[in-house]
Copies of this chain bind each other. A is one copy, B any other.
Amino acid sequence: MKKVTAEIIAIGSELLGASKVDTNSLFITKHLNKLGIEVSFKTVVGDNWESLKNAFETAINRVDIVISTGGLGPTEDDFTKEVVAELCKVSLKLDEKILENLKERFKVRGIAFPENSKKMALIPENAIPIPNGPGAAPGIFLECNGKTIILLPGVPREMQYMIENFVIERLNKKYKLPQRFSISMNFASIPEAIIDNTLKEIDFEENGITYAILASLRKVQVILSGFDKEKVEEFSKKVISKFPDVFFGYGDIFLENAVLDLLIEKNKTVAFAESCTGGWLGKLITDIPGSSKAFLGGIVSYSNEAKINILNVPEKTIEKFGAVSAQTAFFMANNVRKLFNSDFGIGITGVAGPSQSEKKPAGLVYIAASSKEKTVVKKYNFRGNREMVRQQSTSRAFDLLRKEFLK
């Protein structure tokens, strides 16, 4: 079986600076790999005609499929289509239907149609425009010197929309590769190394299964894949059986998805009292459409006065134990539950850092979860910078509710 190879070209001078890396290629790679297509090269190139031409020329000569992101917008330094048209020796034609759509978009927003936006409606001859759901500029799918060229926007959500709604099907049809099946499993609150050590002892290779571990502060994801669907399923069960307590679901979900599903399933509601996370916990659960079925709201008590006056944490408790204490977390979780009349309450108070507070170290966080019947308070010493401390606080808060009240 001949391998099908791809190169991803990320276009944009900002990606050649000292502060920004291309991450679009990760999403694209994930989907290409699922189709059995191997990414052989990734190139980053700036908004420079000659460099861009060189990058496409090089890619066309060394892989089967070239996918680029960026350079499809209306500004002067957007000329990906123009470069590719020159390289493939085709002309660009104005697509009237796309132009109409673009004009309509501006009209709806009450903005005059800028003349430079017209170029977004230019399509190379014999190319297929790829509909852009969330944005303006269409993508481009074309054949050139026997290779497949796919031009996508650099805006992640637009690029993702096109991959999911057009590119996958198109490539699948064209290359008809034996499909790999994969199963993703998510685990909470467990170090990557422990999972890794356990997985090393499972006989994946002999069974034609590959595995990957993706770890972040939000979860550890294990992805198994192979050509034999049943084998992949069998081994996924084997993996889960090693860590039944921390497994929280399949697919591309996070703890908040698992928690929300359990709440809705059990017909329960929750409210949050947040101090050091400042509203992040609420932000995460409301990322999910339909979260209003179980999430009633919360109090961000960033000042002691707010903890005392709005959340009714006894002033004496804060005086005696501090705002960052198990006792304060206890009252936060219970009082927010009463205030919102919800089934469960979560309270988070801690030192996000970088400096200490109340002479307590950055990373010290107390999280409480409560129902009418019981309250659980846990103390954590998180490592890392302010963002990492806050991120871990949100994950552990959801996990505490899941483990202690929803399983």
Show the binding face of A for B, using Cβ within 8 Å: 13-19, 21-23, 25-27, 29-30, 33, 38-48, 51, 54-55, 58, 62, 73-77, 108-109, 111, 114, 116-117, 134, 157, 191-194, 196-197, 200, 212-214, 223, 252, 272, 274, 276-283, 285-287, 289, 291-292, 295-303, 305-306, 309-310, 339-341, 352-355, 381, 383-388, 390
User: Counting chain B CB atoms within 10 Å of each CB, which of A21, A23, A41, A355 scores highest?
Assistant: A41
Given A111-B191, A279-B279, A297-B299; 15 other pairs, CB 8 A cutoff: A19-B214, A41-B44, A41-B55, A76-B200, A157-B387, A278-B279, A278-B291, A286-B302, A286-B352, A287-B387, A292-B302, A297-B310, A298-B302, A299-B310, A309-B339
Known: A196-B76, A200-B76. A286 touches B278 (CB 8 A): yes
Distance between Cα atoms of A22 and B43 in the complex (Å): 11
Tell me whether B283 and A277 are in contact (CB under 8 A). yes
Question: Which residues does chain B contribute within 8 Å of A286, judged by CB atoms?
Answer: 276-280, 300, 302, 352, 390
Tell me whether B14 and A214 are in contact (CB under 8 A). yes
Distance between Cα atoms of A217 and B360 in the complex (Å): 37
Tell me whether A51 and B40 are in contact (CB under 8 A). yes
Question: Which residues does chain B contribute within 8 Å of A58, judged by CB atoms?
Answer: 58
Distance between Cα atoms of A191 and B114 in the complex (Å): 11
Known: A21-B26, A39-B16, A196-B116. A279 touches B287 (CB 8 A): no
Tell me whether A300 and B277 are in contact (CB under 8 A). no
Closest to A21 in B: B21
Q: Which of B13, B43, B310 contacts A339 (CB 8 A)?
A: B310
Known: A191-B111, A196-B75, A277-B286. A212 touches B19 (CB 8 A): yes
Tell me whether A43 and B41 are in contact (CB under 8 A). yes
Q: Which of B51, B74, B299 contacts A299 (CB 8 A)?
A: B299
